[in-house]
């Protein structure tokens, strides 16, 4: 094994929070010890209001730590001048950028500022760095466009190119995926991954995109709602249940198999056995969970049995059996509606093993009387 | 104008644009020396400026003692207001910021009024008009600084440019009302000194006034130019600037001090000249197509000078009419359409205004 790489940024027993007037301070996160390593992509995850932004502000030197310290390539961050800091660390914020009449190349050129003199005179070396930064951020074709004409994704790229023009050893991004659609998000993460791999840049970004984070991260920093801080590889934290606990809430649950969160309307814990072929199986499972059912592996454990077939033209045909009653339909939306109705009934009766319809059920049931009581056929169209 | 042809490379276009502006300043400057109630031929003016006696001694007196100080004051005040406006628009992140609109000039008038109406004309100060004028200037600078600090505090809290504008207008009203109250309690004889303040004028400036006005304007304009680099980075906002090597607080402090000094000094000698600080930077950005402060600051100085020279020509320096108008009644014709244009553009481009 080779020696461990030297961390570019290391937080030592860091305590972050706010200083109030009168010297009183409110700590938000305490006892943070973590490192950013060259060439690594680190994601900062946590629920809103847990202190992600405060932590980032402290790490980039915009705010003083309440305790502990941040070392930037071995030197105490708050002892560095703004200019020294800017040469080693650059930041991409969510702030709207309203720079007036300026081409993307000029904007990226502003990134050279910490390296330039009073009159911003540029040498060839600086101009080459600007072109390199534009290329590295995939913004070369934007270079001559006006910044105000860009789309959100293009502006994001330009701001990253500007950050790269600072020639930093660490790049910190605050929620860079927030205003982007899914394709742009994936592109952005791929871009950061590539930058970290090819240039040895240490990248730290905060995000709510758990799925992307789990796939692309070398390291996760987790901030819990109660102020605890954890760090580790994405797989370790997922297996250990840390990610699940970070986002603990009544409406969502973590799907270990898929590595992402699922949103349940209500979790009723109703056992259902599914027979379907891949790739439909994955989506049927999701649909079933969304309706509040629990897929189980063995038929014997299940009260409901669901069979899904691929019909022609990609439409799914499903058939649901429950102790003699059967119900079928087309499309997973109908399935979810049907299941949700069952789940509601089960829940309202407070007796999951009942096999008779509750008296008022007939009154609220749509189109009551058109079918025999006891079947739920009309719940699907 | 061919200098503004977009086909030319940006560098040449910028250089050509600034050159044209500089030539226009000189041309307007000379026009103001030539025209007036008495027409003096250009050759005669140049002869007098070069130290000659002129064909008639009255020409020499008119040019050297009346028109030259007036034209120099117009250039200095216009340049100072243009630079001040450009700085304020970046500092406030607001395309409508300007010393006059945000009530900074009103604050300066209030400061000056307190000294003019409060100090005794028969006391020891009365014999020392330069000292008295310095006292007025100091009070005007203090008044300007006060409004600037208040306006910035409000701007941070509100964020919305239109709201900041309203707050500035309110500061203007408030200062104006305070001046009115002072006027009612003051001796009528002292009011004369106050009369020109709200109308704006570059006339009645003497060479001894210029001994204070010129160095103050030049010093602040040069200092402002030295801040071009951090001002460029501040276009990205304070938070970005802080991560790009700018010491935001010191830069803001120096820049605001410059603006307070510019606005205070100009107001103390010329009264409140409206809209120059607002219009000049927008015209420069529009003509040169960029927001780079290395271009916008000198450009605003030149265009500000041109605007005040033109306004003075229209207001009374043309010799075509007997009436001389207050400068503000002319500058408003330039300024008000620019405000409307900026607001309309803001709406049509979904909140994006070239700063």
E strands, B259-332, are none
What residues are paired with A172 via a beta bridge?
A: A91, A204
Q: What is chain B's mean pLDDT, rounded?
A: 83
d(CA A352, CA A357) in angstroms, rounded, equals 12
Q: pLDDT-derived band of residue A312, with 50, 70 and 90 as boundaries?
A: low
Using alpha carbons, select from A38, A47, A83, A90 the residue that is nearest to residue A246: A47
Which residues in chain B are contacts of A80 at CB distance < 8 A? Answer: none
Q: What is the pLDDT of residue B309?
A: 94
Is A95 in contact with B240 (Cβ distance < 8 A)? Answer: yes
CA distance linking residue A366 with residue A336, whole number of Å: 16
Distance CA B260, CA B149 (A): 9
Alpha-carbon distance values, A196 to A36, A139, A192 (Å)? 12, 17, 6
Reported as a single tens digit per residue, the pLDDT across A196-254 is: 999 999 999 999 888 888 888 999 999 988 888 989 888 888 777 777 777 766 556 66
User: In the structure, what pLDDT confidence band is assigned to residue B120 with cuts at 50, 70 and 90?
Assistant: low
Peptide bond connecting A279 to the previous residue in cis, omega within 30 degrees of 0:
yes
**Length in residues, chain B:** 355
Integer Cα distance of B109 and B273 in angstroms: 11
CB B325 within 8 A of CB B315: yes
Contact A91 B240 (CB under 8 A): yes
For the ranges A107-116, B82-91, B283-292, the lowest mean pLDDT is seen at: B283-292
Which pLDDT score, from 0 to 100, does residue A141 have? 94
Question: Chains A, B: CB contacts under 8 A, how many?
Answer: 87
Closest to A49 measured CA to CA, from A333, A233, A249, A258: A249
Question: Higher-confidence residue: B150 or A107?
Answer: A107
Query: Residue A14 belongs to what H/E stretch?
Result: strand A9-19
Taking CA–CA distances from A58, the nearest residue in chain B reads: B243
In whole angstroms, give the CA distance from residue B235 to residue A101: 10
**Residue numbers in A near B298 (CB within 8 A):** none
Query: Which pairs with CB-CB distance under 8 Å and at least 24 residues apart come from A325-333?
Result: A325/A374, A325/A375, A325/A376, A326/A375, A327/A375, A327/A376, A327/A377, A327/A379, A327/A380, A328/A380, A329/A380, A329/A381, A332/A283, A332/A284, A332/A287
pLDDT at B35: 86
User: Which residue from B29, B38, B28, B27 is spatially nearest to B60, judged by alpha carbons?
Assistant: B38
- Residue in B243, B299, B350 to test binding to A, most A beta-carbons within 10 Å: B243
Q: Does A80 touch chain B (CB under 8 A)?
A: no
**Cβ distance of B240 and A93 shorter than 8 Å:** yes
Most confident of A195-199, A236-240, A263-267, B193-197: A195-199
Average of per-residue pLDDT across B196-215: 84
Cα A286 to Cα A255: distance, rounded to the nearest angstrom: 10
Q: B223 CA to chain A: closest CA distance, Å?
A: 12
Encoding tokens for residue B197?
Answer: 């303040």
Residue A349: per-residue pLDDT: 62
User: Residue B264: which pLDDT band, with cuts at 50, 70 and 90?
Assistant: confident
Is the pLDDT at A306 greater than 60? The verdict is yes
Which H or E element spans position A325? Answer: strand A325-330
Neighbours of A87 (CB within 10 A): 16
Comparing B95 with B213, which gets the higher pLDDT? B213
Reported as a pLDDT band with limits 50, 70 and 90, residue A261 is low
CA A17 to chain B, closest CA, distance in angstroms equals: 18
Residue A314, CA distances (Å) to A308, A309, A330 in order = 12, 10, 11
Q: Does A343 touch chain B (CB under 8 A)?
A: no
Task: Centre a 10 Å sphere on the Cβ of residue B240 and count the other Cβ atoms it contains.
Answer: 24
Closest residue of A to B226, CA-based?
A118
B285 chain-A contacts, CB cut-off 8 A? 100-101
B121 band by pLDDT with thresholds 50, 70 and 90: low
pLDDT digits (tens, 9 = 90+) for A185-199: 899 999 999 999 999
User: Which carries the bigger pLDDT value, residue B299 or residue B158?
Assistant: B299
Q: What is the pLDDT of residue A254?
A: 67
- Residue A188 to residue A158: CA distance in whole angstroms: 12
Q: Between the ranges A290-304, B152-166, B199-213, B333-347, where is the mean pLDDT highest? A: B199-213
Q: How far is CA B2 from CA A46, B6, B296, in A?
A: 58, 9, 20
Distance from CA of A328 to the nearest CA of B (A): 50
E strand or H helix that includes residue A67: strand A67-72
Residue A36, H or E segment: strand A25-36
Over residues A119-133, the mean pLDDT reads 92
Nearest beta carbon to residue A82 from set B226, B235, B242:
B242
What 3-state class would DSSP assign to A91?
A: strand
Where do the structural domains in chain B lie, given as residue ranges? 2-348
Q: Give me the residue label for tokens 């995850």.
A: A45
Q: Is the pLDDT of residue B125 over 50?
A: no
**Average pLDDT of the residues in A116-142:** 92
The packing angle between helices B68-91 and B207-226, to 10°, is 30
A170-174/A202-206 β-pairing: parallel
Question: Chain A neighbours among B 219-258 (CB < 8 Å)?
Answer: 226, 228-229, 232-233, 235-237, 239-240, 242-248
Of residues B300 and B146, more confidence is placed in B300
Q: For position B281, what pLDDT does the model report?
A: 93
Minimum mean pLDDT among A134-143, B220-229, B280-289: which range?
Answer: B280-289
What percent of chain A has a predicted confidence (pLDDT) above 90? 36
- Comparison of pLDDT for A2 and B9, the residue scoring more: B9
The pLDDT-based confidence of A256 (bands split at 50, 70, 90) is low
Q: Say if residue B197's pLDDT is above 80.
A: no
pLDDT at residue B5 greater than cutoff 60: no
Contacts of B346 in chain A (CB under 8 A): none
Q: B289 contacts in A (CB within 8 Å)? A: 101
For domain B2-348, give the CATH number.
1.10.3470.10
Contact with chain B for residue A367, Cβ under 8 A: no
Which pLDDT does position B299 carry in this prediction?
96
When comparing pLDDT for A64 and B338, which is higher? A64
Q: Give the residue-averaged pLDDT of B299-328.
A: 87
More confident residue, B62 or B29: B29
- What's the mean pLDDT in B238-242? 91
Indicate the average pLDDT of chain A: 82
Interface mutation vs chain A, best among B10, B245, B297, most A CBs within 10 Å? B245
B250 min Cα distance to partner chain A (Å): 12
Asked if B68 contacts B134 with a C-beta cutoff of 8 angstroms, the reply is: no
Residues of A in contact with B248 (CB under 8 A): 82
Q: Do residues B208 and A88 touch, judged by C-beta distance below 8 A? A: no
Q: Do A100 and B235 touch (CB under 8 A)?
A: yes
Q: At A381, is the pLDDT very low, low, confident or very high (cuts 50, 70, 90)?
A: very low
pLDDT attached to residue B130? 63
Q: Is A83 an interface residue toward B (CB < 8 Å)?
A: yes
The answer on pLDDT for A367 being more than 60 is no
Structure confidence at residue A264 as a pLDDT band (50, 70, 90): low
Is the pLDDT assigned to residue B75 strictly greater than 90?
yes
CB-based contact A17:A28 (threshold 8 Å): yes
* A98 in reach of chain B (CB within 8 A): yes
The answer to whether residue B129 scores a pLDDT higher than 70 is no
Taking CB atoms and an 8 Å cutoff, what residues of chain A touch B234? none
What is d(CA A32, CA A242) in angstroms, rounded to the nearest whole number? Answer: 16
| Residue A354 CA, distance from chain mean position | 41
User: Which position has the higher pLDDT, A211 or B123?
Assistant: A211
Find the helix or strand (DSSP H, E) in which A254 lies.
strand A252-255
Mutate to test the interface with B, among A61, A80, A82 (most CBs of B within 10 A): A82
Q: What is the 3-state secondary structure (H, E, C) of A140-200?
A: HHHCCCEHHHCCHHHHHHHHHHHHHHCCCCEEEEECCCCCCCHHHHHHHHHHHHHHHHHHC
Using alpha carbons only, give the angle A155, A160, A166 rounded to the nearest 5 degrees: 135
Element (H, E) at A361: helix A361-364
Q: In percent, how much of chain B has pLDDT > 90?
A: 29
pLDDT of residue A371: 42
Judged against a pLDDT cut of 90, whether residue B199 lies above it is answered with: no
Which range is least confidently modeled, A11-25, A301-315, B68-82, B263-277? A301-315
Mean pLDDT calculated for residue range A115-123: 89
Report the side by side order of strands in the sheet with A304-310.
Answer: A293-296, A270-275, A304-310, A316-322, A325-330
A299, A273 Cβ separation under 8 angstroms: yes
When CB atoms are compared, the residue of A62, A113, A116 closest to B242 is A62
* Contact yes or no for B205/B213 (Cβ under 8 A): yes
First to last CA, chain B: 23
Alpha-carbon distance of A7 to A169, in angstroms, equals: 10
Domains of chain A by range and CATH?
9-248 (3.40.50.300), 270-379 (3.40.50)
* CA distance to partner chain A, nearest, from residue B171 (Å): 27
Question: What was the pLDDT predicted at A353?
Answer: 46
């Amino acid at each position: 094994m080779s020696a461990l790489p030297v961390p570019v940024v290391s937080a030592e027993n860091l305590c972050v929070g706010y200083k109030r007037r009168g010297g009183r301070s409110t700590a938000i996160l305490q006892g943070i010890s973590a490192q950013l390593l060259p060439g690594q992509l680190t994601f900062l995850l946590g629920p809103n209001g847990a202190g992600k932004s405060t932590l980032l502000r402290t790490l980039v030197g915009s705010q003083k730590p309440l305790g502990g310290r941040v070392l930037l390539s071995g030197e105490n961050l708050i002892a560095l001048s703004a200019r020294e800091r800017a040469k080693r660390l650059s930041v991409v914020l969510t702030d709207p950028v309203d720079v007036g009449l300026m081409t993307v190349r000029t904007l990226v050129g502003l990134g050279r500022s910490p390296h330039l003199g009073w009159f911003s005179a540029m040498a060839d070396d600086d101009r080459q760095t600007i072109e390199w930064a534009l290329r590295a951020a995939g913004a070369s074709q934007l270079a001559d466009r006006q910044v105000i004409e860009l789309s959100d994704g293009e502006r994001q790229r330009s701001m990253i190119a500007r950050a790269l023009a600072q020639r930093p050893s660490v790049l910190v991004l605050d929620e860079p995926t927030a205003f982007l659609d899914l394709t742009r998000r994936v592109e952005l993460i791929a871009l950061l991954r590539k930058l970290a791999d090819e240039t040895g840049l240490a990248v730290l970004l905060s995000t709510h995109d758990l799925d992307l984070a789990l796939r692309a991260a070398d390291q996760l920093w987790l901030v819990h709602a109660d102020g605890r801080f954890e760090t580790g590889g994405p797989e370790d934290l997922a297996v250990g249940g840390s990610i699940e606990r970070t986002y603990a809430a009544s409406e969502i649950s973590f799907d270990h198999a898929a590595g992402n969160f699922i949103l349940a309307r209500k979790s009723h814990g109703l056992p259902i056995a599914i027979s379907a072929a891949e790739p439909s199986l994955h989506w049927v499972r999701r649909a079933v969970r969304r309706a509040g059912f629990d897929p189980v592996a063995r038929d014997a454990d299940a009260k409901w049995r669901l069979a899904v077939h691929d019909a022609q033209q990609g439409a799914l045909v499903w058939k649901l059996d429950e102790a003699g009653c059967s119900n079928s339909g087309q499309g997973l939306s109908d399935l979810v509606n049907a299941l949700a109705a069952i789940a509601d009934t089960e829940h309202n009766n407070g007796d999951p093993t009942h096999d008779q319809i509750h008296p008022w059920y007939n009154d609220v049931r749509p189109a009551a009387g058109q079918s025999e009581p006891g079947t739920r056929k009309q719940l699907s169209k | 104008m061919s200098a503004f042809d977009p086909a030319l490379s940006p560098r040449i276009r910028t250089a050509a644009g600034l050159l044209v502006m500089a030539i226009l300043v000189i041309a307007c400057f000379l026009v103001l020396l030539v025209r007036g109630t008495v027409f003096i031929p250009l050759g005669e003016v140049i002869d007098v400026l070069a130290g000659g006696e002129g064909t008639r001694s009255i020409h020499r007196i008119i040019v050297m003692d009346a028109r030259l100080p007036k034209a120099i004051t117009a250039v200095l005040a216009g340049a100072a207001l243009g630079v001040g406006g450009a700085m304020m628009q970046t500092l406030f992140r607001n395309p409508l910021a300007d010393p006059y609109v945000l009530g900074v000039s009103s604050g300066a008038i209030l400061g000056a009024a307190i000294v003019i109406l409060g100090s005794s004309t028969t006391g020891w100060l009365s014999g020392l008009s330069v000292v008295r004028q310095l006292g007025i200037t100091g009070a005007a600078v203090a008044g300007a600084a006060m409004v600037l600090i208040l306006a910035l505090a409000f701007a941070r809290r509100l964020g919305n440019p239109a709201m900041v504008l309203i707050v500035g207008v309110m500061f203007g009203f408030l200062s104006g009302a305070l001046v009115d109250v002072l006027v009612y309690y003051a001796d009528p004889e002292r009011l004369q000194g106050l009369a020109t303040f709200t109308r704006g004028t570059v006339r009645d400036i003497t060479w001894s006034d210029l001994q204070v006005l010129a160095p103050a304007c030049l010093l602040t304009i040069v200092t402002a130019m030295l801040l071009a680099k951090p001002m460029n980075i501040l276009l990205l906002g304070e938070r970005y600037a802080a991560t790009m090597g700018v010491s935001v607080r010191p830069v803001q402090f120096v820049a605001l001090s410059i603006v307070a000094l510019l606005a205070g000094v100009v107001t103390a000698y010329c009264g409140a000249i409206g809209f120059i600080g607002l219009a000049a930077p927008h015209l420069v950005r529009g003509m040169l197509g960029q927001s780079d402060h290395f271009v916008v600051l000198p450009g605003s100085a030149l265009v500000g000078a041109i605007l005040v020279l033109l306004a003075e020509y229209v207001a009374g320096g043309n010799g075509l009419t007997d009436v001389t108008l207050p400068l503000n009644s002319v500058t408003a014709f330039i300024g008000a359409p620019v405000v409307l244009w900026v607001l309309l553009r803001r709406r049509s481009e979904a909140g994006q205004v070239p700063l």
